[in-house]
């Protein structure tokens, strides 16, 4: 149950690493966000994380199914990689269209 928040911390850490490596700021008023598709993707992802947290708590803590948080954590790791790559592609597309 304690490992489920790891993807959220991963998002924060990966965002900072991405900014350091690419020079692209993902935070702030003028930050690129992947357009409408990027915002929608992140909204769906955050909603999915919230549902996974609730399911992990309900099934793991309340119902006593001990393996559930591990499976949910694995699903979130895979989901983070998939969504991260898609979001990166949307950001790169937005950068290419904004370049002079």
Dump pLDDT digits (tens) for 13-52.
Answer: 887 887 788 777 766 666 777 778 888 898 999 899 889 8
Report the candidate in 97, 46, 39 with the shortest Cα–Cα distance to residue 76.
46
4, 52 in Cβ contact below 8 A? yes
Average pLDDT over every residue of 51-70: 84
Q: Provide the 3-class DSSP secondary structure of residue 6.
A: helix
Q: Is residue 92 exposed (0-12), middle (13-18) or buried (19+ Cβ within 10 Å)?
A: middle
User: How many other C-beta atoms lie within 10 A of the C-beta of residue 23?
Assistant: 7
Q: DSSP label at 45?
A: H
Which pTM was predicted? 0.65
Average pLDDT over every residue of 80-97: 87
């Amino acid at each position: 149950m304690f490992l489920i928040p790891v993807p959220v911390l991963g998002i924060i850490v990966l965002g900072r690493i991405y900014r350091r490596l690419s020079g692209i700021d993902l935070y702030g008023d003028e930050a690129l966000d992947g357009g409408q598709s990027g915002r929608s993707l992140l909204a769906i992802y955050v909603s999915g994380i919230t549902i996974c947290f609730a399911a992990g708590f309900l099934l793991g803590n309340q119902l006593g199914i001990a393996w559930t948080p591990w499976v949910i954590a694995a699903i979130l790791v895979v989901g983070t990689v998939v969504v991260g790559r898609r979001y990166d592609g949307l950001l790169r597309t937005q950068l290419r269209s904004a370049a002079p």
